[in-house]
Structure 1
């Protein structure tokens, strides 16, 4: 999650919180000839698309937190919080950004818990099949150890590559001196990752996995889709490994890939959310917001209809097979009778 995503909904959340507090007749402001009440504010705020998205989010997260929140541990929250803090350059800078956006550390951790509850709830509704695991296997590469150098420009990367390919070059020392990747530079660019890792861009992973031990890549460019900035990498493979033919050895990793595939499948996510909203008997009491969750409910109903149709087709197919087998048996019996 990048900075703009972490803080995107805060202003809308603050507005909605104001509308939710106090009685509907409580006055927010007065002036000659008039006043603005909490109800006036709510009536205006609820029609805003940003606030409507926030209400949807609040309902969905509340439902999943109530049902799946006990699956979320403090360690899971700590790991995600620390990961986001690293993107801000450390906990002090991150906590300052949260404070500026209206969060406290406690309230933001609660937000993380709700988000993780949603993720756990989605996973609980997954049915990972052998076919899903086989599909994950096709794109999977086991953990490798490599050294990376990250720089800001292609010219810098070409200079690094020329220096790294000299006979007496020490790739680790070059990484310490030139790499802008603060997480790895101090350790000579050393990093371990597999194809499920999120710390290394996909473009870098793909190039690295094709290298033999001791081999150095060409310059690799990778663009961050959230900031639209491009970084350039040079990679040296330390220890690569072939995945072999034993899928069972990597079952946990393959399951994670299959789960992430479904988490990125909007049809699965929408239908699952709709199913959970129906199970929780969610009712939108404001008539102006009555259809706010209808797309989720429609997705769930469509999925149920498709599943029922598939089950019916399978039953009909089985019945047809049984009928054919019965007809064949009857025919064989009649043939035996004629022979006698």
Structure 2
């Protein structure tokens, strides 16, 4: 998760900066006894660097994908994912994370939107075999409801488990040990989620799906964000027919495909195909090769 968010920071900030430099190239950025450095100087240097070409390539890709698939991603879609992820961190840790990453809330949302547009583009152009769909259905876990204690640290999570083991009620233990978490209500109840829901922390999902109803985690569950939880599985719905959740399964397969680094060549082929259809024509000679990996892959 962190790697993707950091890329979002680089992309949003760097793109904005390079675009501004290109427009306002005469401004002086620094002076020395041996001369000055202007925005144009800096822009020329950046665009010839490997990082600069990568960012340029991503700018073009985003432009092409957004025109064709951007309408499929609504503000509500982004806000929902944003709220869920923020809740899992907790307000203080989330703000700390953004600060460390040098990212504003607006930039973070933009990175989420770009990923959702990419998912829509890949989903429309990635052919999923019947075997893959059947495998995804076999591994599917239906809607599961849980209760969650969000502990301040591992010791507190273990103390909560010890208290539950000694016979104290869930409600009493929750009130004593749980930190604020906007993703839950009451004494830690979360909205139902299934195995295709990537907004819920993968470690919470793993704990919830691998224990019976009424059972809580035997040891502290460490989320991918570093927060420790106690997870109680409350109920699990019956598994629906494959036809009723086929769209969800396809989304899950597509997301897994995108996130698997072993599929980079296939991803480039898909993107290259879309770039060719969009008649991309690079005017700047220094950036001519920025998209070669995508265009030749297709």
Please indicate the TM-score interval, normalised by the length of the shorter structure.
0.7 to 0.9
Provide the secondary structure at the position in 1 that maps to 2:64: helix
Deviation track 1:213-259 (CA, whole Å, cap 9, x = no partner) reads: 222331143352xx6x3x33322222134537x32343233222222
SS at match of 2:10: coil
Partner Cα distance (1:211, 1:21) in 2: 58
Counterpart mapping for 1:30-109 below 5 A: 36-83=37-84, 89=91
Give the equivalent residue in structure 2 for 1:130: 130
Pair 1:75–1:138, CA change in 2 (3 A)? same
The change in CA–CA distance for 1:39 and 1:4 in structure 2 (over 3 A counts) is closer
Report 1:1-340 matches (<5 A): 4=6, 6-22=8-24, 26=26, 28=28, 36-83=37-84, 89=91, 114-167=114-167, 169-180=168-179, 182-184=181-183, 186-191=185-190, 192-224=192-224, 229=226, 231-243=227-239, 246-264=241-259, 265-300=263-298
Comparing 148-157 with 5-14, greater Cα deviation is found at 5-14
Which secondary structure state, in structure 2, belongs to the residue aligned with residue 13 of structure 1? helix
Residue 13 of structure 1: how far off its partner (Å): 2.8
Deviation at 1:62, TM superposition (A): 0.7
TM-fit CA distance, 1:121: 1.7
Aligned-residue offset at 1:10: 4.6
Deviation at 1:83, TM superposition (A): 4.7
SS of 1:278's partner is: helix
The answer (yes or no) to whether the contact 2:150–2:181 under 8 Å persists in 1 is no
CA RMSD of aligned residues (A): 3.4
Q: Secondary structure at the match of 1:219?
A: coil
State the distance in 1 between where 2:108 and 2:166 align: 49
Mark the structure with the bigger radius of gyration.
Answer: 1
**Regions of 4+ moved over 6 Å:** 29-33, 107-111
1:35 Cα deviation (Å)? Answer: 5.2
TM-score (norm 1): 0.70
> Matched residue pairs, number?
285
Q: Distance in 1 between matches of 2:72 and 2:200?
A: 28
TM-score (norm 2): 0.78
Query: Structure 1: which 5+ runs fail to align?
Result: 301-340
Structure 2: any 5+ residue segments left out of the alignment?
none
**2-structure distance, mates of 1:38, 1:158:** 55
| C-alpha distance in structure 2 between counterparts of 1:185 and 1:130, whole Å | 37
Structure 1 window deviating more from structure 2 (260-269 vs 157-166): it is: 260-269
Q: Displacement, 1:73?
A: 2.9
Note closer, same or farther for the CA distance 1:85–1:157 as it changes in structure 2 (3 Å cut): closer
Considering Cα pairs closer than 8 Å and 6+ residues apart, tell me whether 1 or 2 has the greater RCO: 2
CA contact (8 A) 1:215 1:236 kept: yes
Cα pair distance change 1:294/1:76, threshold 3 Å: same
Shift of 1:272: 0.9
